[in-house]
Amino acid sequence: MKKSILFSVFLFTVIYFSGCKTETKNDSLIRELGLKTSAKFSLKEAKNKIGWTAYKTTEKIPVNGQFKKVNITANGDGNTIKEAIHNTSFSIPVSSIFTKDSSRDYKIRKFFFSFMDTSLLSGTLEILTATSGIATIKMNGITDKVPFEYTITNNVFSMKSTMDINKWNAKAAIASLNKVCEELHKGADGISKTWDEVTLNITSTF
């Protein structure tokens, strides 16, 4: 009788731990294949909006736009929104730029991004505190960091940051864009100016 009970306990233990190992392997395979995971929050399934604001004229008139496509290239899943955001890698095709003005879109692609030979913006997001983080962004062959502030409300992650695009050696690209937009970027003072500051406003709705 004792032997029978001991054998049953042993058999149950083997089956239990075998099942755990199989589940771990399956979860790993799911992540590798980029399929849906059991995580509660997924950036790939979220509604992501990559908004930006550039500025023109000495009065600093805002020009709003967005990138209509973002690819999550690594991570992006978690049991909390912070886990899903932290260490996420992404890429953004500049061809997806959208400002509600096709002529402006063309000029930004050709005379700014193409001038830098940049077809993709890529990087990672890192959560540091309850309200702040760091975005590492690659553009023009240069990788640099951009601090950001964020909030999470009703399953919506919102982050805001300001880029000094001179950090990506973009001065010549700014001059190129300003030249083709010279009259449009001229203010009441007669000076044509394109600012080297861009504000990012990004939201992910889970």
**Domain tally for the chain?**
2
Residues 17 and 49 in one domain: no
- If pLDDT is split at 50, 70 and 90, which confidence band does 6 have? very low
162-186 average pLDDT score: 97
Using the Cα atoms of residue 125, residue 128, residue 133 and residue 137 in order, give the sign of their dihedral. Answer: negative
Confidence at residue 16, expressed as pLDDT on a 0 to 100 scale = 38
- CATH number of 116's domain: 2.40.128.110
The DSSP H or E segment spanning 105 is helix 102-108
Give me the mean pLDDT over the 106-125 stretch. Answer: 97
Looking at the fold, whether 14 and 53 belong to one and the same domain comes out as no
> Average pLDDT for residues 38-58, to the nearest whole number?
96
**How far is residue 168's CA from residue 139's CA, in Å, rounded to a whole number?**
6
CA gap 22, 60 in Å, rounded? 59
DSSP annotation of 77: E
Q: CA-CA distance, 119 to 123, in Å (whole number)?
A: 14
- Both 55 and 123 in one domain: the answer is yes
Which pLDDT belongs to residue 33?
A: 53
Amino acid (one-letter) located at 186: K
13-22, 25-34, 104-113, 185-194: range with lowest mean pLDDT:
13-22
pLDDT of residue 38: 81
Give the domain range for residue 166.
41-205
Output 99 or 22, whichever has higher pLDDT: 99
Do 9 and 67 belong together in one domain?
no
Residue with tokens 């002529």: 103
What does each C-alpha distance from 152 to 6, 33, 158 come to in angstroms? Answer: 52, 29, 6
Looking at residues 171-186, what average pLDDT do you find?
A: 97
pLDDT value of position 67:
98
Residue 19 has pLDDT above 80, yes or no: no
DSSP string, 132-153: EEEEEEEETTEEEEEEEEEEEE
So what's the pLDDT on residue 35? 55
pLDDT, the chain, mean: 87
Residue 139's φ and ψ, nearest 5 degrees, are -155, 145
Q: What pLDDT is recorded for position 180? A: 97
pLDDT at 5 over 90: no
Do 166 and 180 share a structural domain? yes
In this predicted structure, the answer to whether residue 85 has a pLDDT above a threshold of 70 is yes
Q: Which two tokens stand for residue 13?
A: 């233990």
